[in-house]
Structure 1
Amino acid sequence: MNIESFTADDFDVFKIDGLEPRMDALKERIQPKLQALGEHFSQKLSVMTGDEMHPHVAKHARRTVNPPNDTWVAFAANSRGYKMMPHFQIGLWETHMFIWYAVIYEAPNKREIGKRLEQQADRLVNSIPSHYVWSMDHTKPDVIPHDGLGADDLNSMFTRLQTVKKAEILCGIKISRDDAIKLKDDDFIETIQDAFEHLLPLYQLN
């Protein structure tokens, strides 16, 4: 299956009003691309992690009124779901594309992951590239730039992951719409692959 980069039309899907029209456009324009990315990178991530990684394209099936503001394909070592597992994501909002390592609130072992992240905070300050970003809520586009953060800043996020029921932690890259649509063919694949390689040490702390 050919892997196609995201286009302006893909980002414009999130300007379409109404749940059904937007979902129809998502299924037609974006989900085939996410499916192709899922097939390609599930194989790559399986080799990288040593776990059999399964792709999960977001279906947004529970929505009855509000159309989705973002969409993605997730990769996890579980064929039935990803939300309860540490996982990787590739996706987009209207304004940008994202590539994440994510532990979201459904993960039952958040406390243990938070402790291991806390133990590595000093190392992570220097090993995470400065242009990477963090998020504490996967449902919002807001991010915290890694550049300028110290170990204490990271530890406050890692402690929250351990102590707050709805806490989440995501790390990765955010690529603006304009920059994302310039990525073609090999550059698109290489950008995603490079991000996963930099995020792999976080996954290995699970």
Structure 2
Amino acid sequence: MFDKKDFQVFNDDTLSGRLNLIRSDLDPKFEILGQELLQSLEKEYHQKFFLKIAKHQRRTKNPPPDTWLAINQDKKGYKKTPHLEFGLWPDRYFITFSLLADIRQRGDYYPILEKYQNEIIKDGWGVSNNHTSSEMKPASDFKQVISHYQKVKSSDLVIGFELKQNDPIVIAGDYDRLLKDKFMNLSKYLVLFNEEVAK
């Protein structure tokens, strides 16, 4: 389903052109993948999950620098809750688990992050304090990323995986299973964090 042509949507630097390409070329793939992920998640965890595909409706001038689907466990919306995303920057796919700056009950997640930090480091996920940037730091920096998230109210907490456009895996093609597996591997933190904060 996904292939290196996906990145061609970013070659159009106009707002209307890029949005049209996203809607015609990527959103149908997001819809198919999103439904497959919902089924896999609900089968794995026996819980309810909700899908949102980015529509970029607030953009009036500049084209979106990335596009994505998001899955969380709150039907009211995902940005103020722990959530998973799969999407594309112009040079890479990304799969992330995020706690954004304005998440509800933010302070309740600090001890949960510390509880699972060694596991996340061991698993080798990329980490970041900025969900609006494609760059991620190595897992070995996670303790500093947590510290920054606790001290700087405007910062995010992002854990994830990236597959760059020029990676031999992308060039060779047939990597849908890899993307799904990485998403499912990361999903345990969505469920764990929601369960922990509900205690």
The TM-score range, normalised by the shorter chain, is 0.7 to 0.9
Are the aligned partners of 2:79 and 2:100 in contact in 1 as well (CA < 8 Å)? yes
Deviation at 1:181, TM superposition (A): 5.2
Q: How many residue pairs were aligned? A: 191
Matched, 1:5 2:2: yes
Structure 1: give runs of 5+ residues left out of the alignment: none
2:170 counterpart residue number = 180
Are the aligned partners of 1:110 and 1:161 in contact in 2 as well (CA < 8 Å)? no
1:165 counterpart residue number = 153
Q: Counterpart of 2:128 in structure 1: which amino acid?
A: S
Query: Structure 1 vs Structure 2: percent identity of aligned residues?
Result: 27
Query: CA–CA distance in 2 between the matches of 1:87 and 1:19?
Result: 27
1:121-145 per-position Cα deviation (integer Å, ceiling 9, x unaligned):
234332x1x3x31121111111102
Query: CA–CA distance in 1 between the matches of 2:107 and 2:150?
Result: 4
1:105 to 82, 89, 101: 101
Matched, 1:51 2:47: yes
2:182 counterpart residue number = 195
Structure 2: give runs of 5+ residues left out of the alignment: 195-199
TM-score with structure 2 length normalisation? 0.87
The 1:25–1:197 alpha-carbon spacing in structure 2 relative to 1, beyond 3 Å, is: closer
Are the aligned partners of 1:114 and 1:159 in contact in 2 as well (CA < 8 Å)? no
Query: CA–CA distance in 1 between the matches of 2:101 and 2:172?
Result: 34
Any idea what SS the aligned residue of 1:100 has? strand
Query: CA–CA distance in 2 between the matches of 1:175 and 1:54?
Result: 24
Deviation at 1:112, TM superposition (A): 1.4
Name which of structure 1's ranges 163-172 and 24-33 shifts more when overlaid on structure 2: 163-172
Q: Counterpart of 1:202 in structure 2: which amino acid?
A: Y
Deviation at 1:159, TM superposition (A): 2.7
Query: CA–CA distance in 2 between the matches of 1:94 and 1:43?
Result: 28
Q: Which has the higher helix share?
A: 2
